[in-house]
Structure 1
Amino acid sequence: MLTRRNVTASTTLILILILGLGGCATNAQQQAGSDPYASLGSGGSSVEYGTAFPVASPEEAYRNGNAALRAGDPDRALFEYLRGLRMEKRPKADPLYSIGIIHHGRGNHDLAEKAYRWALEIDANHLGASTALGVALLEQRDFEGARQHLEPLVVRGKAPWQAYNALGVIADMSGEHGQAQSHFEKALEIAPGTPRVLNNLGYSRYLAGDWPGARQALRRAVSANPNYELAWRNLGLVYAREGDHETAIEAVARNGDRSKAYNDIGYISMLEGRYQDAMGFFHEAMRLSPAYYVTASENARNLDSLLRRNGSPAAN
């Protein structure tokens, strides 16, 4: 039978995206060649911007970059930030931080980390870069590295809500649910009603066994963002844990895929040791959709094997 630790480790994967940044960041100032910023570019930027939008100073380039970022044009923004840096005698932290944000949003995680670290070499107290690097390290499951960048912001009293939210996730992953919830509550004081934080608070309460508290926070999350699928999924977990299976299925099946919902709730039920419930959910998933027959039947077979290994009667 799976232990409580197994359950926590398995279900916590629902809470955060593990993106796995690759490799160690290098000092961008040590790149080969005459252009130290070349490694921070990407194929999306075009030199045509230089002739179409001439600038007279780095500050003008940075303003153009900020405007392009607000307008949803990261290619132009990246070009402008790099152009401004190339006009400077010394690198500056703010545009490097902005470059990191662009790369992070594109999934270029090692480039984002490189830009954040370079910004912090220039300004060790840069709030945005410290927070963003801490979050990036959390995403690659470097919890200690993330703490080292985020906790000093709390000590200095300058932590943004993202830092408290990330520290809450780290505490939950360590089983320190009370501390995690304190961090999430602090994040909500700074940014009231933020769906992501409400989801994390609700899930933390779920892990701690506080079903009513979890339900309350998760319902606030889906009220703030009715399309927040992860919060609906976590809300379904709460209903399933309380034994309200039909409401759980309705919550998880917000996208209309009830077979997937039955399979997912079955899987969570299996992790939590409610094997007969799990088997029923798997069979219903198989009945509803041929597309889920293979997945659900494999889960059912695994559950049957688990029961046999533990000396329990096999499920029908």
Structure 2
Amino acid sequence: MKLTVLATALSTSVLLALCSASARISVPPLILLRQGQALQTAKEYSKALENYGQLADLRGDWSEPHTLMGEIYVQQGRWEEAYAEFSLAREIEPRDPRALYGLGQVAHYGGETGKAALLWTSALSLDPTDTQVRCSLARLYMETSRLDLAQQHLRRILLSEGQHQEAHYLLGLVAAADAPFSAVRHLQTAVQGEDQQLSSKARSILDLLAEDGTEESQAGPIGRLALASLEQGFPNLAVEWLQELLADEPGNQRAQAYLGYALLSSGQPVRALETLRAVTRSDPKDPLGHYFLGVVHRSQGYLPTALWDFKRSLRLDPANAATYAEMADTLRRMADYTAAEEWYRAACTVAPGEPGFWVLLAQFHVDVVPDEEKGLVAATKAVSLRPEDPVAQDLLGWALYLGGDLAGAKTALERAISLDAGFARGYYHLGVVSCELGDEDRATWAYRRAVDLDA
């Protein structure tokens, strides 16, 4: 059946190739451009690339098809191809701001933040109204702790687009530690925006600001905000906040432990180790210091040492399910699968109402050591606790497939992609199941979507 689907796809591609020769002559360039843009908006990237390729052949003097192809390659993580297309666009039109922005994206991905800043600044000089470029530049300045410059760009965005959701979210995040009232105003606006992911992030920061700040760990609101900024992709912001807190409270052990983790997340493992070793020397009974020390040691490949750290943390805080999961993950990396399973199950036992641990157990039984019965039990529990989680639905679908329930698998996988239209793994699994069911059209469509989203 899979060969039949492949043959159908190949014959379709041959037909498209034959038709494209006449299309290059008969289809006006602007129609090809608009069709490609519509396909790109729908994330049908393979078809969009075909249109843009035809357009580039028809109009070698246009930079736009190359820029648009580069944008798709960025979405797919095909960075070398993206660089090639943006470079071609710039050769055709040296002052194309979108090509400059794309080259900046490639540079930023490669860790060349200075080069990215220069390219994005050049793009803004050509088109000062481009809020996407300005927002990316603001994020870069936040990543590199140049908060004043970040705020300048974000406020500039709000001058022209007063309800710009991302600008409000980022301004709220930057102001959260030092100007909470201003932060709340921006975050409340961001919560009301259309992007649900940004809305959720803004809501999580608002919830932190609303807490009374009393907790046993004495991490304080700054510590919690720092962790939130880590989760939301701004480790340098977390480092800055925690260093400010420690300047006022040098004896705050919990903040010191958070700082160690933030330093690791910002690409400074040596400083992270030094910071966390100081924490555990100062207070050997602080479980968080040992926990983060285990995370750092594991990131550096010292797996037995990481296990020792996690065990020490557990002796001090046996109710922390996250530490059980870290033990399991470390043992999995050491290929000790029997012990890893025991620790994943222990995490679920300690925190049975937390869906994330059931997802980890399901992933272990579905992807690492396949066991359809155990995987199905764990995935079913995860879905019951969090029915709107596409990952849990996908795991349920794949566990059902492994157990031979194709109809049930298809239902769960259709649900997964309905919850997250950009979930490449879900489309791939749906393609496999649809193929087994004989639904060749659905299988071909699902495989194409999987390739579009994760080339």
Are positions 1:65 and 2:32 aligned together? no
On the 8 A contact 1:46/1:79 being kept in 2, the answer is: no
C-alpha spacing 1:107/1:304, structure 2 compared with 1 (3 Å): closer
Judge conservation of contact 2:33–2:65 (CA < 8 Å) in 1: yes
Indicate whether 1:101 and 2:71 are aligned: yes
Q: TM-score normalized by structure 1?
A: 0.60
Instruction: State the distance in 2 between where 1:192 and 1:185 align.
Output: 9
Question: TM-score, structure 2 length as denominator?
Answer: 0.43
Kept in 2, the 8 Å contact 1:198–1:217? The answer is yes
Task: Give the helix-richer structure, 1 or 2.
Answer: 2
Tell me which moved more, 92-101 or 270-279.
Answer: 270-279
* Identity between Structure 1 and Structure 2 (%): 18
Q: Which runs of 5+ in 2 are unaligned?
A: 1-9, 216-220, 247-251, 258-273, 287-315, 317-455
Please show how residues 276-315 of structure 1 align to structure 2 within 5 Å: 306-309=278-281, 311-312=282-283, 314-315=285-286
The secondary structure found in structure 2 opposite 1:138 is: helix
- Within 2, Cα distance between the matches of 1:304 and 1:156? 47
CA deviation after TM superposition for structure 1 residue 47, in Å: 4.6
- 2:135 maps to 165
Counterparts of 1:215-294 in structure 2 under 5 Å?
215-224=184-193, 225-228=195-198, 229-236=200-207, 238-239=209-210, 243=213, 274-275=252-253
Which residue does the alignment assign to 1:186? 156
For the Cα contact (< 8 Å) 2:175–2:183, is it kept in 1? yes
| Maintained 8 Å contact 1:205/1:214 | yes
Distance 1:57 1:85 in 2: 13
Unpaired segments ≥5 residues, structure 1: 1-42, 253-259, 280-301
* Cα deviations by residue, 1:254-294 (Å, 9 ceiling, x for unpaired): xxxxxx99xx7xx9799565545899xxxxxxxxxxxxxxx
Distance 1:52 1:134 in 2: 36
Q: 1:98 to 1:276 in 2, by over 3 A?
A: closer
Q: Is the 8 A contact 1:187 1:197 kept in 2?
A: yes
1:121 and 2:88 equivalent?
Answer: no
Q: Which has the higher contact order (CA 8 A, sep 6+)?
A: 1
Q: Report if aligned partners of 2:56, 2:62 keep a CA contact under 8 Å in 1.
A: yes
Residue 305 of structure 1 and its aligned partner are, at CA, apart by 5.1
- TM-aligned CA distance change 1:52 to 1:231, over 3 Å: farther
User: Comparing 229-238 with 163-172, which one deviates more in the overlay?
Assistant: 229-238
Q: Which protein is bigger by CA-based radius of gyration?
A: 2
Question: RMSD of aligned C-alpha atoms?
Answer: 4.2
**Corresponding letter in the other structure for 1:205:** A
Following the alignment from structure 1 to structure 2, what is the Cα–Cα distance between the partners of residues 236 and 275? 24
CA gap of 1:69–1:46, structure 2 versus 1, over 3 A, is farther
Find the partner of 1:133 among 92, 103, 106. 103
SS across alignment from 2:192: helix
